[in-house]
Structure 1
Amino acid sequence: MTSKPPIGRDTRLCMSLAARPGNFGSRFHNRLYELTGLDYVYKAFTTTDLAGAIGGIRALGVRGCAISMPFKEDVIALLDGLAPSAAAIDSVNTIVNDDGVLTGHNTDYAAVAALIAEVDPATRFVLRGSGGMAKAVAAALRDAGFRDGVIVARNEAKGRPLAELYGFGWQSDLGDEGAPLLVNVTPLGMAGGDADAMAFQAAMVAACEVAFDVVAIPAETPFLKAAGAAGKRRITGAAVATLQALEQFVLYTGVRPGDAQVAEAEAFARG
């Protein structure tokens, strides 16, 4: 392990903005800085003044910022431009600051695309949710060749346009019909107020083949626990979180850590 310089005036700051900040990103990035010897530090924040926070990133030379709910779409108007990954889905989860020029990226898309690569695109799916992360997942599914699917969202004003944009069906509630691939892109099961909620009915989970939950904390949501108990293949939000955070690290630093370093940082972040 290369020795990391002590924090000083040349240390570069990276950060995150979320309504409910967690510790994973800070622990993951900071551990990788230690392992790679980079003079960086990472800190999580929340805000009720998004415009002020983005102005601070620009004014203070913050190198990069992860963007989480509920800021992934609202932040776009405050940036100077979008990378193709963000422009394609109008959702930003990463800001890179190049000498005061702020560019939005979306590393969620790349992470999801990698994780669904081994699922047969002929598989029918039900995706529950319509927020910024739902855009990344729906776009990755469409681009991977999935055509037979439905997006379930109570908010028709968001759910129907999202479904139409990517060529999928829309419905306001789950109903009784499941699918071989179930995808949860809602906060159901997330640590906090919805921690005990199941994203899909037990019968749907029992009938599915693949269970995909983007909730990262906890790694074992009620949905994924039920799927595991039923012997289903699972794609976890924890895996999404690690892959997307790794791509953010590369964007911020220009350095791609080795697999062993990433595994150590992930274990440390979840320890």
Structure 2
Amino acid sequence: MTLKKIRGVTCSIHKEERMLIYEYMPNKSLDFFIFDEIKRQLLDWRKRFEIIVGIARGVLYLHQDSRLKIIHRDLKASNVLLDAAMTPKISDFGLARMFGDDQIEANTNRPVGTYGYMSPEYAMEGLYSTKSDVFSYGVLALEIISGKRNNHFYVGSPCLNLIGHAWDLWKEGKALDIVDSSLGDEASYPAFEVLRCIQIGLLCVQEQAADRPTMLEVVFMLGNEVNVPSPNKPAFINRRIIDSGQDPSSSAGAPASQNDITISELEAR
């Protein structure tokens, strides 16, 4: 067995087994807070904004600033760890892939990842790139703002997920309606900043990968009061086509699959 110290993280290599030992994260993962009715009350808007920005900077490092370009491919709330100061740390690189300097995208015949965070081109065609991570980041940002999972069912909405619900509210000029109620009313947080974050999130989940911003552009828009482009239609809106008496989570109400690709829901290790 070989033990090495790499930038403060221990790496264990034994035959075919490779293991990374992370620093201890006392606050567990992001999903432990934002999807819990009680614990998410500990996250005010300022802390949520810092987490949104921190994750964006982390993904930017993977895409641009690290020695090798890394596509995470499984960015989600349970793979974002929180240290004692609630600083986000991206974890679980089991599905990550490294790109060459001039490589733009890659293809796989077996897409794997977590339903609700996977970009359409990856889930349907096996194509992945930095824009796949951008899509996952957009879903994550909307979840942090709303305190709801993307696959949450919205009563009274024609959409089955958070992306579609946020898009409908955005078109109606009521985007702030998705904000987590535990944050209070609009007087309790900077509405302009929250709206900008919602708009950036919707830009990241646009259906066409070419329309999505890069993570460098995301970080710039988050850190500066600039004119943010208007988003186009997002992917995976999942319009409801089931009867009101049917369980919305049942497979019978889901749209028919267009191919034989299997999407595995993976949990963080």
> Would the TM-score normalized by the shorter structure come out above 0.5?
no
TM-score by length of 1: 0.29
Larger relative contact order (Cα-Cα within 8 Å, sequence gap ≥ 6): 2
